[in-house]
Amino acid sequence: MKYQLELQNISKSYGALKANENISFGIRPASVHALLGENGAGKSTLVKVIYGSLQPDSGSMQWCGQNYKPNNPFEARENGVSMVFQQFSLFESLTVAENIALGLDNTNLDDELVQIIIKHSKQYGLDINPNQTVGDLSVGARQRVEIVRCLMQNPKLLIMDEPTSVLTPQEVSGLFITLRKLAEDGCSILYISHKLEEVRQICHQATILRGGKLVQSCNPQEHSKSELAEMMIGKKLTQLARNNVVLGDEIFCINSLNQARQDMFGIDLTNVCLSIKRGSIVGIAGVAGNGQDELMKILIGESDSDYGVLTFKGQDIGQLNAHERRQLSMFFVPEERLGHGTVSELGLNENMLLSRPSVSGMTNNGVINWQTVHTLVEKVINDFDVQTQSSKAPAKSLSGGNLQKFMVGRELIQQPDLLIIAQPTWGVDAGSANNIHQALITLAEQGSAILVISQDLDEILTLCDQVHVLTEGNLSPPVNVQDNGLEEISQLMVGGE
């Protein structure tokens, strides 16, 4: 048996759009195989075909040399294909064991199951406690629960979609140990990621998709990170350069922000202090769920803060709502795209109006000037290369990466004096991420200030000239990035001294 799973000429179209076109490749037994590609390259469609949630228009698959044609995920699981999704599907109020039992076909929760959970978690170094409530677990631990749940089915192929995007560097190392051990024991892994450095570390084979077609199969360890990125986007990457950093006066400061949590799984913010100068890009690193959402709420103006805590251009802005803050040229890109940064059912033109400072001319005494709105939407779509059917297409019809480009573009064309941006390139492919980063750097060089809240350390280290770490609601003082920056940040991220 040469391949665990072999794909032959798989094609799948949605109307006129060819999501997958004649894709053929094989996954060797006991290997970690990377699937790379930009947003919209067809990775998700291909994975759905393998996992049985979509049926291909043409082409066939072989599983251990046998014909394989799953009609639904249930049949795929019966064959030994398992998947860890990017969005976890766990119930926060239930325990680990209850969650695992619920996710399995034909299983009851009993002592035997708990024993198997413990056995699997020990065998692969997946540290979980079956009796803990999922709501109390970190993101990394939740992912381990998901993996154990997959392992319960004794898979022969484990599909992992963007597994490291939410993990700390330490957790990533732990995950890699688990994955290597799994591969040694004979389970193939299909690894989907944007993080090329990690792909180079762990994968033996890579299949690269672009525009629905297979463009290259290679051993990622034999290529550099930028070579891989260029294969994905099909053109040269512009080199990011942040050379001429000219710092001006302080434009924004947070002075001792304290806020108690507002719900059960929230985080208390304690004594958060921050100062941002014109021309600087300040980064807040940290694992999700350490107070980023709470901080972002206060920065956007979705919840009020006390007098003297938030100062922008010398003015207290604690009581201003988001629109009033924008009038002062303070703009925001939240992490959550649908339902927060945009309204999913509304068109891009209507979503444009979420951010409408008077100077933009989109509204006049509340009366909407649709002509101006339309011009601006077209400008965002062109300048930021947003792939969309039209300027009136609903936000939910765009892929995540394109919607992100729209949201970033919407705020950037207003030439903000201060831009606060959470996860600027979350789920965005290498080429577009590069463009967004370049746009941020250009903005800073024009004398604006930027606050980046991100879990992606690479991103923070590329962009920022001042880095803080947010851990359990505490913001660290600026970290000296030059010497030993990465190590210090990693330590702070896990709350160590």
Partner 1 sequence: MIKLQVRSENSTKMVILAPILALTLTAISTMIIFLWASLDVMNAFYVFYIEPLTGKYNLSELLVKAAPLMMIALGLSIGFRAGVWNIGAEGQYIIGAISGGAVGLYYYNVEATWLIPLMAFAAVLGGMGYAGIAAFLRTRFQVNEILVTLMLTYVAILFLSAMVFGPLRNPDGFNFPESRIFHDSATLPIIWQGTRVHIGFIIALLFAGVTWFITKKHMFGMQIKISGSAPRAAKFAGFSENKTIWYTLLISGGVAGLAGLFEAAGPIGQLVPHLPVGYGFTAIIVAFLARLHPIGIVFTSLLIALTYMGGENAQITLQLPNAITSVFQGMLLFYFLACNVLIEYRVTFSFNRNK
User: Which one of 52, 341, 416, 473 is in contact with partner 1 (CB under 8 A)?
Assistant: 341
Q: Does 301 bind partner 1 (CB under 8 A)?
A: yes
CB 93 to partner 1: min, Å: 22
The window from 34-42, 60-68, 337-345, 456-464 that contacts partner 1 (CB under 8 A) reads 337-345
* By CB under 8 A, residue 74 contacts partner 1: yes
What residues numbered 383-422 form the site for partner 1, per CB under 8 A? 397
Q: Say if residues 49 and 23 touch (Cβ distance below 8 Å).
A: no
**Options 13, 255, 270, 344; binder of partner 1; rule CB under 8 A:** 344
Please tell me the distance from the alpha carbon of residue 7 to that of residue 207, in angstroms, as a whole number.
12
Considering only residues 322, 328, 481, 494, which one is a binding residue for partner 1 as defined by CB under 8 A? 322
Whether 194 and 430 have beta carbons less than 8 Å apart is answered as yes
Residue number, 69 or 323, with CB nearest to partner 1: 323
Query: Structure tokens of 218?
Result: 């290679």
Using CB under 8 A, which of 308, 339, 477, 495 touches partner 1?
339
Sequence-distant (≥ 6) Cβ neighbours of residue 286 within 8 angstroms: 292, 455, 469, 470, 471, 493
In this chain, which of 143, 178, 329, 342 binds partner 1, going by CB under 8 A?
342
Which x/- pattern over 149-168 shows residues binding partner 1 (rule: CB under 8 A)?
A: --------------------
Minimum distance, C-beta of residue 323 to partner 1, in the bound complex (Å): 3
Q: Output the CA–CA distances (angstroms, integers) from residue 473 to 38, 419, 490, in the order listed.
A: 34, 22, 16
Query: Between 299 and 386, whose beta carbon lies closer to partner 1?
Result: 299
- What is the closest distance, in whole angstroms, from the C-beta atom of residue 346 to partner 1 in the complex? 7
| Closest to 32 measured CA to CA, from 146, 155, 179, 163 | 179
Considering CB under 8 A, how many residues would be counted as binding partner 1? 35
Give me the residue label for tokens 């798989």: 10
Region of residue 428 (phi > 0: left; psi between -120 and 50: alpha; otherwise: beta): beta
Tokens representing 77? 């699981």
Compute the half-sphere exposure of residue 273: CA atoms within 13 Å on the CB side of its CA.
6
Query: Does position 319 bind partner 1 by CB under 8 A?
Result: no
Of 57-65, 96-104, 321-329, 442-450: span binding partner 1 (CB under 8 A): 321-329
Q: Which is nearer to partner 1, 369 or 442 (CB)?
A: 369
Contact call for residue 300 and partner 1 (CB under 8 A) = yes
Piece in contact with partner 1 (CB under 8 A), picked from 175-183, 194-202, 258-266, 333-341? 333-341
State in angstroms the smallest separation of the CB of 256 from partner 1.
24
Euclidean distance between CA atoms 54 and 35, whole angstroms: 18
* Shortest distance, position 135 Cβ to partner 1, whole Å: 21
Cβ atoms within 10 Å, residue 71: 10
Structure tokens at 73: 């995920």
Question: For the chain, how many residues are written?
Answer: 497
Options 168-176, 222-230, 315-323, 457-465: segment touching partner 1 (CB under 8 A):
315-323
Residue 219's Cβ-side half-sphere holds a number of Cα atoms within 13 Å equal to 5
Binding-residue pattern over the window 346 to 375 for partner 1, x denoting contact by CB under 8 A: x---x--xxxx------x--xxx-x-----
CB of 322 to partner 1, least distance (A): 4
One residue of 197, 324, 385, 487 binding partner 1 per CB under 8 A: 324
Q: How far apart are CA 10 and CA 32, in angstroms?
A: 21
d(CA 359, CA 14): 41
Strands 205-210 and 213-218: antiparallel
Indicate whether 112 belongs to the interface with partner 1 (CB under 8 A): no
Q: Which of 48, 223, 278, 326 binds partner 1 (CB under 8 A)?
A: 326
**Where are the extended beta strands (E) located within 351-415?**
363-364, 367-368
Q: Single out the residue of 355, 302, 312 nearest to residue 333, CA to CA.
A: 355
Using rule CB under 8 A, residue 91 touches partner 1 = no
Amino acid identity, position 259: Q
Residues at the site binding partner 1, with contacts judged by CB under 8 A: 14-15, 72, 74, 300-302, 321-326, 332, 334, 336, 339-346, 350, 353-356, 363, 366-368, 370, 397
